[in-house]
Amino acid sequence: MKKLFGIVLFCVSCLASQELDFERESTLQNMCDDGDVEKCVMLGSLYHRGEGVSLNYAHAIKLYSEACAKNYGKGCTQLGFIYENGHGVKSDQSKALAYYQEGCRKGDGGGCASVALYYENGTGVAQNHTTALAYFQHACESAEASACEKVGYGYEHGVGVEINAVHAARFYHEACLMGLASSCVREGTMYYHGEGVARNASKAFALFSRACALGESSGCKNVEALKAARWFE
């Protein structure tokens, strides 16, 4: 009897450690039932990660599938992630890519960025940097900061497109505005050298400072280097 009691105590402590959030789960479920597909995907992501609920890939897939069928692109993209990584299903890169493409067509920038990575890396498709760049640009238009940086890098270094420093600076600027610190450094460097933009010490310094404030160590180092060089004197 004592042994059984010990097992029960152990199991109760396991449940407590999971910190199940029944209220949040119920609220999202009710909103999903009322037709809010965004909340369906949010609930699905909780089941997908086991965050505040018991891990349940089947529930996640069901919710993602319903959202995808209702033209909510993020649901399709999440299904792509499921099949790419084999979460509750057999890993299938062809299915993953198809869902990512569907997510992209339905307006999800994350889906476009994922398709771009497949073409960039040649995963299940012939490697094609031009196609990858086009998808990254679609993702950028949907406010995916890292995709904007990818496009900027492509134009700066001629990856999938002809070198165009003006375009590179523009895409780095977009990513920096979205808070991507590495792009602030890249844009600042272009102002420092006068590549694609007019050389401007103050703008370079401001961009390096913004990157530093966002936690990018190279931005901080550039700020200190410019101060040490008394660049503004």
Spatial CA neighbour of 63 closest among 20, 25, 32: 32
**150-163 burial, b if ≥16 CB within 10 A, otherwise e?**
bbbbbbbeebbbee
| pLDDT computed for residue 12 by the predictor | 33
Number of other CB atoms surrounding residue 127 within 10 Å? 12
**pLDDT of amino acid 1:** 35
Question: Which of the 8 DSSP states describes residue 91?
Answer: -
Q: Which of 28, 33, 53, 27 is nearest to 43 (CA)?
A: 28
Determine the pLDDT at residue 19: 77
**Could you count the other beta carbons within 10 Å of the beta carbon of residue 180?**
22
User: Tell me, what's the pLDDT at 230?
Assistant: 74
* Local mean pLDDT, 10-residue blocks, the chain (233 residues): 33 47 94 97 96 96 98 98 97 98 98 98 96 98 97 98 98 98 98 96 96 98 90 58
Q: Report all structural domains of the chain as residue ranges with CATH numbers, in order of start.
A: 163-233 (1.25.40.10)
Tokens representing residue 233 in the block:
């004197």
**What's the pLDDT at 231?**
65
Residue 135 contacts by C-beta under 8 Å, 6 or more apart in sequence?
A: 104, 112, 113, 115, 116, 119
